[in-house]
C-alpha cells in the first residue's frame, strides 16, 4: 500500500504541472532592468499585477530618450490592438441590452448603399467580426501605406465602404480564423452607428465611465497629453515616433491608457470589483472558436492553453508602443505590460511569463549599435538606381567609405552597414539589404526594404 501510494503521488506530480508562483517584486524588477539597461530593448516599461492580495505596479526607464521623467502607473501609452477587447465588450453590452444580436448581419448597421460581401448566401455577422472569422483580410487592398508618421489618418470611412462593396471573399464566412484589423474596424463602425454616437463617446459611456477608467481615451485632453510617454520606433537608436491617428480604425487600435487603468479593467474581468458590466464580461468568453493549436478566441479576447495553465490575453503594437494585457481566471492573477518602444522583443513574453513562470522569456542579444566597416569596392557594387512596385526610383551613391540613398521627394540620407549587404537607417526602424544574382556577383540586382510598419518587405529592381 505504501508503494502504491508513493507511485500514485509521483504520477500526480508528473502529470499535473506545479502551480506557478505569483511573480515576486524582485523578479519583476530584474526583468525590467535587464530589458532596458542590459538589452536596451525599450526606453520605458511599466508592469501592473493584480491578484487577491491587491495591486502592484513596477516601472523602469523614462518617458523618452530625450525626456528623463520616470514612467509610472499613471503614464499613458498607446495600447494598440488591446482596443479590440474594448470594442468586443461594447458589443457584449449592446447584446445584453437587446440593441443588437451576435447573429445580426453587419450590413444591417452600415449605410444602405454599402454592399457587404457574402458567400454561398452566408452573411458576415457581428460575431464573425469579433472572432476574426469573417473571411475579410487583415487590411483592405485600397489602403495605401503612407509611411509610419500617420498611416491611417487619410483612410476614410468612404474608402473602407468602397473596398467592402467591391470585395469578393476568398473563403466561406466562419470557416477559419484570420486576424483582421479591417474586420474589427467595421465592427466599431457598425456599433457606433447603431448607438448613434461617435466611437470616443461610445467607449466612454459604455465601458470607461462605468469602470472609473479616467486616464483611458482615444482623444487625450491637455492634462492627459502631458502624461503620454514618447513612442520610439528605431531598433538601434530609439528614434522618437509620432502618435497615430487611427481615424476609421479607432475601434481596432486607437485607445491610450495607463497601467493603473488597465489593472481596473483586469479587476473587472477577474470579478474582483462589482460592475454592471459583469454579465457582458462573462459573455465574452462563453462562445469560443478555434484559432489553431491549443488557442481559441472569444469576443475580442484570446484564450491560450499552455504549460498547465489557461490565460486570457491580447497584445498590441503601434508605431511607437507595445502592450500586453492578460489574466488567469483560476489563479485570479492579472498582468499588464506597457512599453514606449515598438521594436525588438516587445513585451508579450514578459506578460506571459508573469502569468505563468513556466513560460520562458525571449532570449535577447545585446544590441550592437556600432557601424561596421565595409570594403569600398563592395560598396561600389550597390551603386545604382532601383525601381519599386509603386514606380518610385531610389538612387544609391557612394562617397568613399560611405553610402547614401535618395528617394523621391525626400532629402538624401546615409545608410550604415551591419554586415555585408545589410544596412540600417538612423532615422527610422528600417533595414536595407542588397541581393545579387549568381550571374552578376559584382553588381546588386535588388534593393530589399524592410520597415516596421509594413507586413512584408518591398523589393526594388535595378534598372540601370
Residues 16-61: pLDDT tens digits?
A: 334 446 678 999 999 999 999 988 889 999 999 999 999 999 999 9
Q: pLDDT tier at 455 (50, 70, 90 boundaries)? A: low
End-to-end CA distance of the chain: 85
DSSP code at position 35: I
- pLDDT, position 369: 57
Alpha-carbon distance values, 313 to 16, 170, 269, 275, 302 (Å) = 23, 29, 11, 20, 5
**For residue 258, which of 452, 55, 93, 30 has the smallest C-alpha distance?**
55
Taking the C-alpha atoms of residue 387 and residue 392, their distance in angstroms, rounded to an integer, is 6
The angle formed by the CA atoms of residues 408, 412 and 418, to the nearest 5 degrees, is: 110
- In the three-class reduction of DSSP (H, G, I as helix; E, B as strand; rest coil), residue 346 is classed as coil
What cell numbers appear for 356 in the block?
Answer: 505563468
**For residue 286, which of 127, 408, 141, 399 has the smallest C-alpha distance?**
127
Is 419 a residue whose pLDDT tops 80?
Answer: no
Q: Which residues contact 231 (CB under 8 A, 6 or more apart)?
A: 78, 240, 241, 242, 243, 318, 319, 320, 321, 340, 341, 342
Write out pLDDT tens, residues 177-205. 999 999 999 999 999 999 999 999 999 99
Considering only CA atoms, give the Rg of the chain: 24
What are the phi and psi torsion angles at 455 (to 5°)?
-75, -25
Higher pLDDT, 274 or 1: 274
Taking the C-alpha atoms of residue 349 and residue 412, their distance in angstroms, rounded to an integer, is 38
* Average pLDDT score over residue span 281-309: 89
- pLDDT, position 9: 34
Helices 25-33 and 348-355 pack at an angle, to 10 degrees, of 160
Q: pLDDT tier at 440 (50, 70, 90 boundaries)? A: confident
Percent of the chain predicted with pLDDT > 90 = 67
What is the CATH architecture assignment of 25-355? 3-Layer(aba) Sandwich (3.40)
Tell the residue number behind the cell numbers 505569483, with chain if given.
22
Mean pLDDT of the chain: 88
Q: pLDDT tier at 408 (50, 70, 90 boundaries)? A: confident
CATH code of the domain made up of 376-462: 2.40.128.50
Is 151 a residue whose pLDDT tops 70?
Answer: yes
Percent of the chain predicted with pLDDT > 70 = 89
Q: What's the whole-model pTM score?
A: 0.80
- pLDDT, position 236: 58
Is 323 a residue whose pLDDT tops 90?
Answer: yes
Give the start-to-end residue ranges of the domains of the chain.
25-355, 376-462
**For residue 135, which of 101, 179, 104 has the smallest C-alpha distance?**
179
- pLDDT, position 331: 94
- Asked if 45 and 35 touch (Cβ cutoff 8 Å), the reply is yes
Q: Which residues contact 216 (CB under 8 A, 6 or more apart)?
A: 208, 255, 256, 257, 258, 261, 262
What cell numbers appear for 82 in the block?
Answer: 488591446
Is 294 a residue whose pLDDT tops 90?
Answer: no
* Segment among 187-191, 294-298, 368-372 with least mean pLDDT: 368-372
Amino acid at each position: 500500500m505504501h508503494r502504491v501510494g508513493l507511485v500514485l503521488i509521483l504520477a500526480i506530480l508528473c502529470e499535473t504541472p506545479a502551480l506557478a508562483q505569483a511573480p515576486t517584486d524582485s523578479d519583476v524588477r530584474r526583468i525590467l532592468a535587464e530589458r532596458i539597461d542590459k538589452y536596451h530593448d525599450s526606453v520605458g516599461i511599466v508592469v501592473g499585477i493584480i491578484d487577491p492580495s491587491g495591486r502592484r505596479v513596477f516601472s523602469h526607464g523614462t518617458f523618452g530618450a530625450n525626456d528623463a521623467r520616470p514612467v509610472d502607473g499613471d503614464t499613458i501609452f498607446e495600447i494598440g490592438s488591446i482596443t479590440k477587447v474594448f470594442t468586443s465588450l461594447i458589443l457584449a453590452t449592446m447584446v445584453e441590452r437587446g440593441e443588437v444580436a451576435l447573429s445580426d448581419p453587419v450590413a444591417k448597421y452600415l449605410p444602405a448603399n454599402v454592399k457587404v460581401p457574402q458567400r454561398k448566401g452566408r452573411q458576415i455577422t457581428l460575431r464573425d467580426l469579433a472572432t476574426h472569422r469573417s473571411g475579410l483580410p487583415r487590411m483592405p487592398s485600397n489602403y495605401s501605406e503612407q509611411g509610419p508618421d500617420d498611416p491611417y489618418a487619410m483612410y476614410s470611412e468612404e474608402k473602407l465602404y468602397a473596398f467592402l462593396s467591391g470585395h469578393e471573399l476568398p473563403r466561406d464566412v466562419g470557416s477559419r480564423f484570420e486576424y483582421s484589423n479591417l474586420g474589427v474596424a467595421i465592427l466599431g463602425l457598425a456599433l457606433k452607428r447603431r448607438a448613434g454616437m461617435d466611437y470616443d463617446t461610445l467607449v466612454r459611456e459604455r465601458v470607461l465611465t462605468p469602470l472609473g477608467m479616467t486616464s483611458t481615451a482615444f482623444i487625450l485632453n491637455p492634462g492627459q497629453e502631458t502624461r503620454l510617454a514618447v513612442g520610439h520606433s528605431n531598433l538601434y537608436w530609439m528614434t522618437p515616433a509620432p502618435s497615430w491617428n487611427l481615424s476609421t480604425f479607432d475601434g481596432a487600435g486607437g485607445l491610450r491608457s495607463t497601467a493603473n487603468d488597465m489593472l481596473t479593467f483586469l479587476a473587472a474581468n477577474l470579478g474582483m470589483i462589482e460592475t454592471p458590466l459583469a454579465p457582458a464580461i462573462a459573455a465574452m468568453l462563453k462562445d469560443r472558436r478555434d484559432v489553431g493549436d491549443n488557442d481559441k478566441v472569444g469576443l475580442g479576447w484570446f484564450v491560450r492553453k499552455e504549460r498547465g495553465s489557461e490565460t486570457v490575453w491580447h497584445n498590441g503594437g503601434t508605431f511607437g508602443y507595445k502592450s500586453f494585457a492578460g489574466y488567469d481566471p483560476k489563479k485570479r492573477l492579472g498582468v499588464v505590460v506597457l512599453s514606449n518602444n515598438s521594436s525588438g522583443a516587445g513585451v508579450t513574453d514578459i506578460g506571459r511569463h508573469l502569468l505563468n513562470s513556466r513560460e520562458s522569456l525571449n532570449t535577447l542579444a545585446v544590441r550592437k549599435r556600432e557601424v561596421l566597416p565595409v570594403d569600398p569596392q563592395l560598396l561600389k557594387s550597390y551603386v545604382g538606381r532601383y525601381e519599386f512596385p509603386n514606380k518610385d526610383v531610389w538612387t544609391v551613391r557612394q562617397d568613399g567609405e560611405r553610402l547614401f540613398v535618395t528617394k523621391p521627394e525626400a532629402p538624401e540620407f546615409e545608410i550604415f552597414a551591419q554586415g555585408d549587404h545589410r544596412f540600417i537607417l538612423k532615422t527610422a526602424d528600417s533595414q536595407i539589404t542588397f541581393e545579387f544574382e549568381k550571374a552578376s556577383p559584382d553588381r546588386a540586382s535588388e534593393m530589399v526594404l524592410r520597415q516596421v510598419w509594413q507586413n512584408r518587405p518591398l523589393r526594388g529592381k535595378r534598372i540601370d
